[in-house]
A = this chain, B = another copy of it.
Amino acid sequence: MNPSRRNLNLLPGYSKLMEMARQPFDLSSPDALTTERLAAQVCRAAGFEILYATERVDQAVLDALQSLADESGAVEQFLMMKGGAIMNRIEGFACENRQVLHTATRDIFAAAPRQPAATEQARQELAKLDQFLTELESGVLTNQAGEPFTDLINIGIGGSDLGPRAVYHALAAYSLPNRRVHFISNVDPDDAAQFLSGIDPARTLVNVVSKSGTTLETLTNEELARAAFARAGLDSARHFLAVTGKGSPLENPDRYLRTFYMYDYIGGRYSTTSMVGAVLLGFALGNTRFIEFLRGANCMDQAAENRNLRENPALLLAMLGIWNRNFLGLDTLAILPYSQPLCRFTAHLQQCDMESNGKSVTRLGETLAYKTGPIVWGEPGTNGQHAFYQLLHQGTITVPVEFIGFRESQQGQDIQINRTSSQEKLIANLLAQALALATGQENPNPNRAFAGNRPSLIILADRLDPFSMGGLLALYEAKIVLQGFVWNINSFDQEGVQLGKVLANRLLNHFSGLKQDKNYNGKAKDPLGYALLSEAGMLKLS
């Protein structure tokens, strides 16, 4: 099996789709949305339905997108990835040169996992975690006063924050009684100050998450937190946990109650189902529900192996995204969950998608001749309807939308007003928006007319619970890597974040140099403002 790895614009299907894109399906034409179309354009797998009748595709375009997917060998590469191939690389240039095995962290249900060694490592960490959680629940492990731990502060940033935070909010309704998780991520000292003033450290665990053990923000916030524990007269070594790579500076039993491992074959933005998410989610939800979350992700991982895009939600989303991006020329993607518990899910997807696919060179280091990852943005509906939907409907930019909805609410605390429940109002609004964007509406008042013909799709499941949340997370992870394979880019590195780090360190060295100068006055007018930028502007980049 040797998939093509050719550039998108060199695949046979590319020019055909370019031709088709000159007259894409018109959603606003009368009778565009027939019952037959609505029934036909649904993809079902892993507990999800993707309703895509409101995308600007017909069966011929879908067939051509299927051919393009086949020509790219995207699914074959996905299987290679799961099997342990070195997918994180740029041929011929210095690079990370790593396997990509986040799927192995949930491939724990099969007798024969696709990459047995990595899954065995995952199982070992899960067993350690289960043991730890059991000790917490049984009262074997308590604080110095013999009381149970009720709160956990997660200190991490980027992949060690966004995905776990999004899932925690999504599933907070399923938390164990008297368990809460808080998050400190930003190097902004006001971020840590906010939480450290509001909790009782005596009953709090602190989970420090950094693969390298050298992340500036995380180490700084860890020191802020340790200082707060010391002020409270507590031994932080009995409260602090570490999630890190083997051999990192954080691997130090004198300073941490427990240490859990993550491995370099798991990228930060794909690490929610590794120990990075597991420790805090296990603390909040308990082991059983966390395993259900992994089961949902694994179920979607399996569905993502299907070569037929009409049966594979991740491949379908990937190829519809490429249609909108490369053939219809749309630069952004709004992801709009009609579920308040998913309030941070789009922020996670911003990282997962934009850090993976915001790239300009191929896997051979060539400059790309086509566009890659879009700008991903969004807020939950119905809130967004009262915010930015004006531009979606009547602005001068067309924004493709992925709506996410659930048939039932999580907590079941609902109310009937005018004979419909809030949940029905929520889902009716979701459906109405997809329809309104597609069909538009004529009006003799030009300010009240809607051009329509704006594409969207709906991701639908019965209920937001641990299983479906796992599936939703894996759906987007798989979509993103499949798109990367079609674009022939490396979706697994992030060299674009390096220059800012280098310059920030140079400025900080400059600061600390100033402070060693006996004439330096930290309260001098404008030590951090324009004068510094001016200074910085003269620093030469090597």
A107 to chain B, nearest CB (A): 27
Among the 9-residue stretches A12-20, A70-78, A474-482, A492-500, the one with 4 or more Cβ atoms under 8 Å from chain B is: A492-500
Q: Are A358 and B447 in contact (CB under 8 A)?
A: no
A208 to chain B, nearest CB (A): 15
A452 to chain B, nearest CB (A): 9
Cα–Cα, bound, A359→B450 (Å): 11
User: Is A521 close to B, CB under 8 A?
Assistant: no
User: Is A419 close to B, CB under 8 A?
Assistant: yes
- Report A403-462 residues with CB < 8 Å from chain B CB: 407, 409-411, 413-415, 417-429, 431-436, 439-441, 445-448, 450-451, 458, 460
Assuming the A-B contacts A433-B500, A497-B389, are A188 and B340 also in contact, with contact meaning beta carbons closer than 8 angstroms in the complex? yes
User: Is A372 close to B, CB under 8 A?
Assistant: yes
Assuming the A-B contacts A193-B411, A413-B196, are A507 and B431 also in contact, with contact meaning beta carbons closer than 8 angstroms in the complex? yes
- B residues in contact with A498, CB < 8 Å: 448
User: Is A139 close to B, CB under 8 A?
Assistant: no
Over the window 156-182 of chain A, the binary record of Cβ atoms lying under 8 Å from chain B Cβ atoms (1 yes, 0 no) is 011101100000000011000000000
| Contacts A157-B386, A172-B194 known; 20 new A-B pairs at CB < 8 A | A35-B534, A53-B537, A186-B340, A187-B426, A188-B382, A188-B423, A189-B415, A350-B379, A351-B388, A357-B391, A371-B396, A371-B397, A373-B396, A376-B388, A389-B500, A393-B499, A407-B528, A432-B507, A435-B533, A435-B536
Assuming the A-B contacts A158-B386, A394-B359, are A190 and B446 also in contact, with contact meaning beta carbons closer than 8 angstroms in the complex? no
- What band does the interface of chain A fall in when counting residues whose beta carbon is under 8 Å from B? 35 or more
Identify 21 residue pairs between A and B in the complex whose beta-carbon atoms are under 8 Å apart, listed by A's number. A38-B530, A158-B387, A159-B386, A172-B194, A186-B382, A186-B426, A188-B422, A189-B422, A189-B423, A189-B426, A193-B410, A223-B415, A351-B387, A358-B392, A389-B496, A390-B494, A420-B515, A431-B507, A433-B503, A435-B533, A436-B500
